[in-house]
Amino acid sequence: MIYGAMKFSLGGSLKLAFRPWVEGLENIPAEGPAILASNHLSFSDSFFLPAVLDRKVTFIAKAEYFTSPGVKGKLTAAFFKGVGQLPVDRSGARGAGEAAIKAGIEVIEKGGLFGIYPEGTRSPDGRLYRGKPGGLARVALATGAPVIPVAMIDTEKIQPPGKVVPKLMRPGIRIGKPLDFTRYQGMEGDRFILRSVTDEVMYEIMKLSGQEYVDIYATAAKRQIADAEKAAKEAVKAEIAAREESGA
């Protein structure tokens, strides 16, 4: 009931305001389990995709969104539950990865749609990064559920980092044909199979999105960008200090 109400209000508002275009809706099964594997450009990806689907899609979110104290915390928890997100406890021995896999399998076993971002985090620059071989491939091989590649288009342009007011423009969503990995079912312990499955999915996402592919993890790219920005700031400070010293 909560999901339906949120979809009607938030989803309806998003579609009315931003008018997202969609290709490939026929590739989403009318019933039965499936894994939706998408690129990740914006925080809004988890809202635009469910808004255009008739069926409920469940994503995962860090547990802190559901356990924060106070009125704001309760409202935040209600919001994330309302839009179909599941809390993932990252405090276990192997952290969020194992929790995400367990959550995904539970959704699939109930016949639902499980949404996952193989990159593991948002792209720092709009390019497509290497998929992490854990969650996506292990859920697919443990359950036999089809994997449906999804490409979010231009969602990062709606509200870039640092911008408070979103830009009214039309994002796009391309949904590819289901990928069948049942030939590998039961082999989720083989890291080479996990990598092969993940790379195949990422290749399909790349074709749908038209993004440039970068064969490193997005988390590593973010560290490189942060390090470069820090080095640039330190260089500027050093140059200013040198000028001040020479002029003294």
Comparing 36 with 101, the larger pLDDT belongs to: 36
CA angle 126, 150, 194 (to 5 degrees): 90
Is 60 exceeded by the pLDDT of residue 93? no
- Is residue 115 within 8 Å of 212, Cβ to Cβ? no
Question: For residue range 139-155, what is the model confidence (pLDDT) as tens digits?
Answer: 999 999 999 999 999 99
Higher-confidence residue of 128 and 4: namely 128
- Angle of helix 135-143 relative to helix 191-209, nearest 10 degrees, comes to 110
Per-residue pLDDT, 66: 65
User: What single DSSP character describes residue 167?
Assistant: P
Q: What's the average model confidence in pLDDT over 75-89?
A: 66
pTM for the complete prediction? 0.85
DSSP 131: P
DSSP state of 166: P
Where residue 6 falls among pLDDT bands split at 50, 70, 90? low
Q: How far is CA 90 from CA 9, 61, 77, 118, 227, in A?
A: 31, 10, 17, 17, 26
What mean pLDDT do residues 51-73 have?
A: 77
- Structure confidence by residue, pLDDT tens digits, 208-221: 999 999 999 999 99
Tokens found for residue 186 = 């039961």
Name the nearest CA neighbour of 154 among 13, 42, 37: 42
pLDDT tens for 220-231 read: 998 998 888 888
Average pLDDT, the chain: 86
Maximum C-alpha span of the chain: 75
Which of 4-8, 16-20, 57-61, 170-174 has the largest mean confidence?
A: 170-174
Please determine, for residue 95, whether its predicted confidence score (pLDDT) is greater than 60: no
Cβ proximity of 22 and 172 under 8 Å: yes
Q: Going by DSSP bridges, is the β-strand pair 34-38/172-175 parallel, antiparallel, or unpaired?
A: unpaired
Residue 72 confidence class, pLDDT cut points 50, 70, 90: low
**Nearest in space to 136 (alpha carbons), one of 220, 70, 205, 53:** 205
Tokens describing residue 113: 């749609």
Res 71 pLDDT > 70: no
Band of pLDDT at residue 70, cut at 50, 70 and 90: confident
pLDDT tens for each residue of 179-202? 999 999 889 889 999 999 999 999
